[in-house]
Amino acid sequence: MLPDRIHFEGRVLFLSEDAEKVRRQLAGEDLEPGEALPLRDQISTDEITPAWICYHYDEKLGEFPYLGLKCGEAFPVKAGAVRAGSFAVSVAGKRRGKGSSREASPYAEWCAGLRLVIAESFERIYRQNCQNLGLLTSTDLGLVARIRGGEAIPLAEFTEGLDPITAGLVRQGGLFAYNAARLRGEETPPPPGSGLQPMTYAEKILARHAVVDAAAGHLGLPSVRPGDGLFVKADWRFSHDYVTPMAASFLEKALGPDVVLRDPATILAFRDHLTFLHHSMRAEHRAQGLLEVAQRLKPAQEAFCERHGIRLHGELPDGNGSEGICHAIMTERYVLPGQVVVGTDSHTPHAGALGCLAFGVGTTDIAAAWVTGDVRATVPPTIRVLLSGRLRPGLSAKDLVLHLLAQPFIREGGALGHVVEYQGEALTDLDTDERATLTNMAAEIGGFTGLIAPDAETVRFVKDRRGVELLLEDWMHGDAGANYAHTVEVDCSALAPMLARPGDPGNGLALADLKEEVPIHIAYLGSCTGGKREDLRRAYEVVKEAAAAGRRIPKDVQFFVQCGSEEVRRHAAEQGWLAAFEAVGAVVLGSSCGACINAGPGVSTRADQVTISAINRNFPGRSGPGQMWLASPATVAASALAGRIVGA
């Protein structure tokens, strides 16, 4: 239990847009708040802990926070600098912690000595991970002067406005301590006081899964509303190779090596992120022994799964990839409408295309959920994205979501922590693969999750992929009169092919508005967002005539095609799509996250290289040091053939 007043011993680090100001602080100079402005906005977890840092999962992470922080065109933070600077507080601007759900980011900050992170606003998963670890958070920049003045800050200031469960967790100093107190009867989550009222579809799912009596296994509340704190039973809990070893380490430190997991048949693990790492790791990282560090994650994950009877979707016997990306396999094989699904990846909302509430959680959350079977959630408000009109031929869900990401309401954080529920006529034109692009990229929108109520297309998909006849239940939709925090209307008939400029998925512009010629070096078609059946079909429609005519991509362009799962790869081979890609000069890879996570062929190796990619995010350093443009699968394929960014 934390004391009633917190005294912060240490310095304050302002994460400024000006690299020189950051360097001055690391060298020992303390800046005044006004002097540090402007602060960096939209710092991603890729910048706090670049992917290669996450091969570590212990206190060694404390050497590395902010190594990927880009200030202008510079990266001012070096290994060990934050820890050596004796900082207790770190301050940033808007949307701190966007992107990946990696708990390695706040854990690295904690291990470097930070005890409080301040920002104008936070991404949900990052802030939740901080709370789980006992790293305090605040949006009050006025705390800086008080802390520097030696004032002990009341703990109540860090719990103000939180739901009772989250407030109790902060007081206890983290999720494991809270759950221990909960099991001892010292923390009893109060039931929400919501009376009967119309609910959104997401609220209905949460109400049905709300844990009323954990010991007796009683579930279900008449209704819930935004702001209610709950523990909800998870139908599926999954983790991937980056996270499983860290979660296992956290769990065994907290509860011992003989801990028993609840219902391991509903726990899944995936070896999908790092299967091609040995093809792309930079020479300097190899020289530091990082390949060996990363390779230890595989046996650690396998040993944990074997010990606890967890199904592991692992590497292929021939070493050429994996069974598939976690999100692809969860959607193809497991999840059903109305379920709650949690996974250790920010793109867990992918499965929301099937009408389940699927959301990303951090390392501590998943470790606790393995034992309790439930996960904490604050009921989020819901934003309705109303898709009117019909998409023109050739337009895809990727074009639609890049358009959404460029809207000021989204860019300024209007959807932070919200359920993003898609409705409207345009869904008629989108199969489940396309819908999954919309729900998947709720992560880039900043949402809690993306969701589409199930319909006839959902039934068709489950029948097609699993051979199962699915019966939808009457409750699986929002109530008339349900409260939506905001409605975003999109006239889909007016949309055109889209791009996102390098640096952020929100840097959107219409392809027709690209005035300069942009030669490319790499075209990448893959990832959970760009490696589905429909993604490959649309790209095939672009290349098939070139393949038949014997045309090939320019000799100075590399074109990579990487399926989201082996099921997709088999289907694409049967349809002749892969042969067409190879005929124009593409390299077809086994299934894996690969270049999307900077771990496989398709990553850039120089800052002057330009990539056009169908993945979901293009934060600095995400897939190498080069400049990455985002686009639809069709635009990626057309650009590969042209050697420059063009439309299909």
Q: For residue 171, give the CATH number of its domain.
A: 3.20.19.10
The last residue of one of the domains, among 375, 399, 422, is 375
Give the mean pLDDT of 506-533.
Answer: 97
Neighbours of 24 (CB within 10 A): 17
| Whether residue 248 is found in the same domain as residue 315 | yes
Confidence of residue 100 (pLDDT cuts 50, 70, 90): confident
| Whether residue 529 is found in the same domain as residue 629 | yes
Confidence of residue 319 (pLDDT cuts 50, 70, 90): confident
The SS3 assignment for 6 reads strand
pLDDT score at 214: 78
Neighbours of 451 (CB within 10 A): 30
Give the closest residue to 367 by CA, choosing from 247, 258, 463. 247
pLDDT score at 181: 87
Give the closest residue to 104 by CA, choosing from 237, 243, 281. 243
Confidence of residue 576 (pLDDT cuts 50, 70, 90): very high
Residues 300 and 623 sit within 8 Å (Cβ to Cβ) = no
- For residue 239, the 8-state DSSP code is E
Tell whether 572 is covered by a domain: yes
pLDDT higher than 90, residue 256: no
Tell whether 538 is covered by a domain: yes
What are residue 466's phi and psi, to 5 degrees? -120, -10
pLDDT score at 546: 97
Tell whether 190 is covered by a domain: no
| Whether residue 478 is found in the same domain as residue 534 | no
Instruction: Tell me which amino acid residue 51 is.
Output: A
Tell whether 223 is covered by a domain: no
Distance in angstroms (rounded) separating the CA atoms of residues 150 and 179: 33
The last residue of one of the domains, among 497, 521, 548, is 497
Give the mean pLDDT of 92-109.
Answer: 93
Distance in angstroms (rounded) separating the CA atoms of residues 613 and 615: 6
Give the mean pLDDT of 418-428.
Answer: 97
Residue listed under structure tokens 């304050």: 12
Burial class (CB in 10 A: 0-12, 13-18, 19+), 23: middle
| Whether residue 419 is found in the same domain as residue 290 | no
| Whether residue 619 is found in the same domain as residue 632 | yes
- For residue 527, the 8-state DSSP code is H
Tell whether 203 is covered by a domain: no
pLDDT higher than 90, residue 194: no
Distance in angstroms (rounded) separating the CA atoms of residues 470 and 459: 6
| Whether residue 365 is found in the same domain as residue 386 | no
pLDDT higher than 80, residue 215: no
| Whether residue 493 is found in the same domain as residue 503 | no
pLDDT score at 490: 97
Q: Strand pairing partners for 508?
A: 500
Distance in angstroms (rounded) separating the CA atoms of residues 136 and 131: 6
∠ Cα 321 324 327 (to 5°): 145
Burial class (CB in 10 A: 0-12, 13-18, 19+), 28: exposed
The last residue of one of the domains, among 455, 482, 497, is 497
pLDDT score at 254: 87
Give the closest residue to 410 by CA, choosing from 42, 39, 40. 42
- Full 3-state SS string of 306-341: HHHCCEEECECCCCCCECECHHHHHHHHHCCCCCEE
Tell whether 198 is covered by a domain: no
| Whether residue 492 is found in the same domain as residue 539 | no
Instruction: Tell me which amino acid residue 376 is.
Output: R
**DSSP, residue by residue, 378-432:** EPPPEEEEEEES-PPTT--HHHHHHHHHTSHHHHTTTTTT-EEEEESGGGGG--H
- The residue ranking higher by pLDDT, 283 or 644, is 644
The dihedral of CA 271, 276, 282, 285: what is its sign?
A: positive
Burial 215-241, CB ≥16 within 10 A → b, else e: eeeebebebbbbebbbbbbbbbbbbbb
Give the closest residue to 352 by CA, choosing from 419, 433, 436. 436
Distance in angstroms (rounded) separating the CA atoms of residues 607 and 622: 12
Distance in angstroms (rounded) separating the CA atoms of residues 609 and 237: 38
Distance in angstroms (rounded) separating the CA atoms of residues 262 and 392: 48
| Whether residue 475 is found in the same domain as residue 619 | no
Tell whether 218 is covered by a domain: no
List pLDDT tens digits, range 8-28: 999 999 999 999 999 999 999
| Whether residue 169 is found in the same domain as residue 28 | yes
Tell whether 187 is covered by a domain: no
User: CATH number, domain at 600?
Assistant: 3.30.499.10
Confidence of residue 184 (pLDDT cuts 50, 70, 90): confident
| Whether residue 31 is found in the same domain as residue 46 | yes
Inter-axis angle of helices 175-183 and 363-372, nearest 10: 20
In this structure, of 125-139, 209-223, 378-392, the range with the lowest mean pLDDT score is 209-223
The two structure tokens encoding residue 264:
């391991």
pLDDT higher than 70, residue 208: yes
The H or E element that residue 630 is part of is strand 627-631
Instruction: Tell me which amino acid residue 342 is.
Output: V
Confidence of residue 621 (pLDDT cuts 50, 70, 90): confident
The CA radius of gyration of the chain, in Å to the nearest whole number, is 24
For the chain, what is the domain count? 4
Per the structure, the complete domain to which residue 242 belongs is given by 236-375
| Whether residue 348 is found in the same domain as residue 439 | no
What are residue 490's phi and psi, to 5 degrees? -125, 120
- Full 3-state SS string of 150-171: CCCEECHHHHCCCCHHHHHHHH
